[in-house]
Structure 1
Amino acid sequence: MEDRTSQSAPGPHPDDRVKLNVGGKLFETTLSTVRSGGPDSLLAVLSDRPTHDPNPVFIDRDPEIFSVLLSLLRSNRLPSTARRFSKQELADEALYYGIESRLKSAMSPPSFSGIDASVVATIRPASDGLPSAFTAASDDGSVWIAHGGQISSYDWNLIPASTIRTHLEDITSIRRIWPDIAAVGSESAAGLHFYDISGGRHVGSTHWSDPSDPRIYKAQVTAISDSLSSVFASFDCPHRENCVLVIDKSTLQIASELGRQSGGSAKSMVPGKLTWLPERGVLVASSVTSGAFGCSGYIRLWDPRSGEVVWETIEPGSGRSSRFGDSFADVDVDVDEWTLFKICSKSGDLAMADVRNLGDDPWVYLNDKNPSMINRSEGGGDSVIHCYKKQAFVGREGGLEVWSRVEGSENRVEGESGVCEGLYRRNFVDKLKDSERGIIKKIEGGGNRLFVSRENAEGIEVWESSNSSAAVLIT
């Protein structure tokens, strides 16, 4: 008998054509295009049918939006026709087809640069529109906004995802410690509380207590930060006793106590700002209070492992030999550059210090003679500072400016004055009309966005950089 060995059919080729019937409209594309959405996408699964099947795959969805998404798969860009649809419509369809990551990549703003940024949106929660606190995700630019006792979450596309009501009347501090978990505190209620934002439920609380000390009761949270394994929260009692608690993320139980002190003076007030510096393994805490004679406060670095203070400065006081009497109005840390920044309360000067080389007076004062900056206030009384993407953003009353490192420039420090020229360049982020919207109260970066809140102003401003070659902006 003749040996008839059957030959297996050749495998599919990337250029093989695929026909799809979406909502009654016929589309024809290649196998490589439909599979470019990823192996787990719906289109990749449907493309596993035999290529010789003459009947197109039927998908009961909107053909016009599918046309936009198919163009995205082909070119990694959104076509101009995408303007016909809302962000929500595009996101819903991309989620259905399993290609949300491709849409996210195309619609995400370009890398954030302060000198080329503008307000692209203002997020206003449906109720209690005055935000009391907010926290942004560093990876994708999503944001959670506390307003009154509620928390509204907005996804990477700034689309409202959910609103939950907490048991607190007024949330004054919030921190995203897990993708779905927020740590929240209130200056009118005791304890640090943890909420599952996606599930809308309370998952735990932490209270500072000491049965041996009657002064420790009803301690309220003033600031929150976190590391990979711990949550740090500063607690303040009505009797002015205060400390920073280290809380284990996995158990939400207190692991240790840092810097317990009595807040009877400026040098022992409760920290109002906490920042974890991961590369150095230290917690940066600062406190500032203002009175008839100006501002005073401290900056303190703790090692949570030993519980010891590794460096501190008290202003006015120690560490101010070059500019004694001009205490800081606000402090922040550039975690990428290992640099402390402070904005002086009287002069408005910006100073920096290398965390790796802190001493009695480590400050270098930045000087930039940009002539375009002389038409606005130079003071520092109502100033806030936030470091993001190796830039220092300063809010002076209503104005927003950015200090950017000048690459390849020569650092010139003038003797004992501690003034440095040519290291950073200062520019306005905003236009004059932007500065008239109100005093800036908080600045925070997330993803390729900057979020700004203002005194007595509804909502949170969203700032993004422009890019003429970027994907089409959908509003």
Structure 2
Amino acid sequence: MNTPATANESNIVSINVGGRIFQTTKQTLTLAGTDSPLSKLATESSTRFLDRDPALFSVLLYILRTGNLPARSTSDVRDLIEESRHYGIEPFLIDSLSNPSQFEAFDLRKSRVLRLNGRDSPSTIAPTGGGGLHVAHGSKITSFDWSLRRKSTVLTNFSAVDSLLEISPGVLAAGATDFPGLQIIDLESGGSVQTALNWENVASSTVQAVGSSSEFLFASFESSRRNSNSVMVYDLSTLLPVLELDRGSDSSAIPSTKLRWIGSCNLLMVSGSHASPSGVSGHVRFWDVRSRNMVCEINEREDCFADVTVSENLSAVFKVGVSSGEVFYTDLRGLGGGKEGDRWVCLGEERKRSLNERKGVGCKIESYGDHVFCSKGDGIELWSEVITGLVGNARRDVLEERVFRKNSFVAGSGENKVTGLVFGGSRMFVTRKDQQAVEVWQSSSRGVSM
């Protein structure tokens, strides 16, 4: 009968990789799968020699053990890709690079620039589930794989794509404000249109926004005459219509141009705004899809939003004011109570605002993880919450005074104005006015050389 020490030693496997000895357990090696040569090493009784690069093996072994990339890895992603394929563990590398836990907001650096073919700047961008990216520019959609090294381009029927969303690997929902229907595009078949979704009984309706949850696909439509609009809900697996929400049927109805699913509340946030000689007005509404009821509405009049987003991690909705350019928030738990004007709390200086200043025009705001990112001209502000009175308590059961701190981690440096911000896995993607490229931002302390 083996003693505990003997049993533990029999579980250890020694591997000589390029002259460097590694020791690991049989369980770690078998995680690679039965088809991987690493799992076969678990059955070896003596030290096995592999004529491979020990530095790359060290990184891949760390990924097998933890699911993450090691801190301050200097390996080139191209070398890691080839090595991971040799060992049959490329999916592990993909997961580690696209893991949101690797995203460190305070340590982002521009790692590379993705160049696009043609003269058109990106109109909209959409991340993939594996850390890659889809970019719409002109009538084309260019897709980058998870390594950002391989790209492919397809032509669409649109003169310009305004809404883009990956609804499953290799399948996109694409729409435009000047072309009818939401097209479901299959990239694997060269960009062919699987089907086109339309607003029921409304001919030539154009798409203003798209969104999704784990069950549903959401599309905001506007009629060609611009006198009515609606949000359609489709079953994500069958693409059959389920119901209609947020219908507006007069000339003053504002179409929703942003759709965000709030999974923690099972609510759909829809928002839209409109500029007129008297100023900018808009709405932020929250719909319970299953009951078909609107549970809350914020009518925006003074300092309406230039852009709005929601953070489930922070349990808050954030906006950037179109007049002031300041960032505001309202607590998700406080929706449905209080006066209209009391809902928004300014995170900035909240100086006296003029409706004619329009300092926030073109500003973008997005949340990711525990942070909020807001573009201001050519720079980007990072907002993070400072927990006061809740140390050690991650739950927010009651409303309390909340403090947010600003960090300008991408200060204005004379570059072109930021036009788009999206996040995927461990990356932030940035587009700028009149640039035929996408910037990739990653943590400098975690990740690999791009």
2:233 corresponds to 1:243: no
CA RMSD of aligned residues (A): 3.4
| 1:102 Cα deviation from its structure 2 partner | 4.5
**Match 2:150 to one of 152, 160, 165:** 160
2:320 corresponds to 1:328: no
Unaligned runs of 5+ in 2: 1-6, 64-68, 350-356, 391-399
2:331 corresponds to 1:346: no
2:448 corresponds to 1:465: no
2:79 corresponds to 1:94: no
Please say if residues 78 and 106 of structure 1, whose CA atoms lie closer than 8 Å, have aligned partners that are also in contact: no
Q: Deviations over 1:234-254 (max 9, x none)?
A: 011111121111011121111
Distance (Å, rounded) in 1 between the aligned partners of 2:347 and 2:320: 13
Corresponding letter in the other structure for 2:137: H
SS at match of 2:410: coil
Please say if residues 391 and 404 of structure 1, whose CA atoms lie closer than 8 Å, have aligned partners that are also in contact: yes
Distance (Å, rounded) in 1 between the aligned partners of 2:70 and 2:283: 50
2:276 corresponds to 1:291: yes
| 1:425 Cα deviation from its structure 2 partner | 0.4
Distance verdict in 2 for CA 1:18–1:235, change over 3 Å: same
| 1:423 Cα deviation from its structure 2 partner | 0.5
TM norm structure 2: 0.81
| 1:105 Cα deviation from its structure 2 partner | 6.3
Percent identical pairs in the alignment equals 27
**Match 2:36 to one of 42, 45, 52:** 42
| 1:330 Cα deviation from its structure 2 partner | 1.6
Distance (Å, rounded) in 2 between the aligned partners of 1:337 and 1:79: 27
Distance (Å, rounded) in 2 between the aligned partners of 1:93 and 1:444: 30
Unaligned runs of 5+ in 1: 1-9, 211-215, 317-324, 370-376, 411-419
Distance (Å, rounded) in 2 between the aligned partners of 1:189 and 1:379: 31
Distance (Å, rounded) in 2 between the aligned partners of 1:194 and 1:141: 21
Q: 2:257 is matched with which residue?
A: 272
Distance (Å, rounded) in 2 between the aligned partners of 1:400 and 1:29: 44
Corresponding letter in the other structure for 1:274: L
Distance verdict in 2 for CA 1:253–1:107, change over 3 Å: closer
Corresponding letter in the other structure for 1:335: E
| 1:173 Cα deviation from its structure 2 partner | 0.7
SS at match of 1:383: coil
**Match 1:385 to one of 341, 358, 365:** 365
| 1:233 Cα deviation from its structure 2 partner | 0.3
Distance verdict in 2 for CA 1:73–1:32, change over 3 Å: farther
SS at match of 2:184: strand
Please say if residues 72 and 444 of structure 2, whose CA atoms lie closer than 8 Å, have aligned partners that are also in contact: no
2:189 corresponds to 1:209: no
2:427 corresponds to 1:427: no
Distance verdict in 2 for CA 1:291–1:81, change over 3 Å: closer
Please say if residues 32 and 39 of structure 2, whose CA atoms lie closer than 8 Å, have aligned partners that are also in contact: no
Distance (Å, rounded) in 2 between the aligned partners of 1:311 and 1:79: 44
Please say if residues 153 and 162 of structure 1, whose CA atoms lie closer than 8 Å, have aligned partners that are also in contact: yes
| 1:127 Cα deviation from its structure 2 partner | 3.8
2:122 corresponds to 1:134: no
2:385 corresponds to 1:405: yes
Distance (Å, rounded) in 2 between the aligned partners of 1:438 and 1:150: 22
2:163 corresponds to 1:169: no
Distance (Å, rounded) in 2 between the aligned partners of 1:26 and 1:402: 46
Distance (Å, rounded) in 2 between the aligned partners of 1:283 and 1:339: 14
| 1:79 Cα deviation from its structure 2 partner | 11
Q: Deviations over 1:180-231 (max 9, x none)?
A: 3211112221111112334434322211231xxxxx2111111000111110
Distance (Å, rounded) in 2 between the aligned partners of 1:302 and 1:462: 34
Distance (Å, rounded) in 1 between the aligned partners of 2:308 and 2:72: 44
Task: From the CA coordinates, give the structure whose radius of gyration is larger.
Answer: 1
| 1:344 Cα deviation from its structure 2 partner | 1.4
Please say if residues 323 and 358 of structure 2, whose CA atoms lie closer than 8 Å, have aligned partners that are also in contact: no
Distance (Å, rounded) in 1 between the aligned partners of 2:116 and 2:102: 27
Distance verdict in 2 for CA 1:306–1:19, change over 3 Å: closer
TM norm structure 1: 0.77
SS at match of 2:83: helix
Name which of structure 1's ranges 183-192 and 219-228 shifts more when overlaid on structure 2.
183-192
Please say if residues 187 and 221 of structure 1, whose CA atoms lie closer than 8 Å, have aligned partners that are also in contact: yes
Corresponding letter in the other structure for 1:35: L
Please say if residues 286 and 300 of structure 1, whose CA atoms lie closer than 8 Å, have aligned partners that are also in contact: yes
Distance verdict in 2 for CA 1:75–1:172, change over 3 Å: closer
Matches within 5 A, 1:9-48: 13-15=10-12, 32=25, 35=29, 38-47=32-41
Q: 2:300 is matched with which residue?
A: 315
Name which of structure 1's ranges 303-312 and 162-171 shifts more when overlaid on structure 2.
162-171
Please say if residues 295 and 329 of structure 1, whose CA atoms lie closer than 8 Å, have aligned partners that are also in contact: no
Q: Deviations over 1:438-471 (max 9, x none)?
A: 222221221122222222222222222332xx35
Please say if residues 343 and 350 of structure 1, whose CA atoms lie closer than 8 Å, have aligned partners that are also in contact: yes
Please say if residues 386 and 392 of structure 1, whose CA atoms lie closer than 8 Å, have aligned partners that are also in contact: yes
**Match 1:72 to one of 50, 55, 59:** 59
Distance verdict in 2 for CA 1:185–1:17, change over 3 Å: same
Distance verdict in 2 for CA 1:199–1:51, change over 3 Å: farther
Corresponding letter in the other structure for 1:291: S
| 1:150 Cα deviation from its structure 2 partner | 2.5
| 1:30 Cα deviation from its structure 2 partner | 5.8
Distance verdict in 2 for CA 1:96–1:428, change over 3 Å: same
Please say if residues 35 and 43 of structure 1, whose CA atoms lie closer than 8 Å, have aligned partners that are also in contact: no
Distance (Å, rounded) in 2 between the aligned partners of 1:73 and 1:113: 21
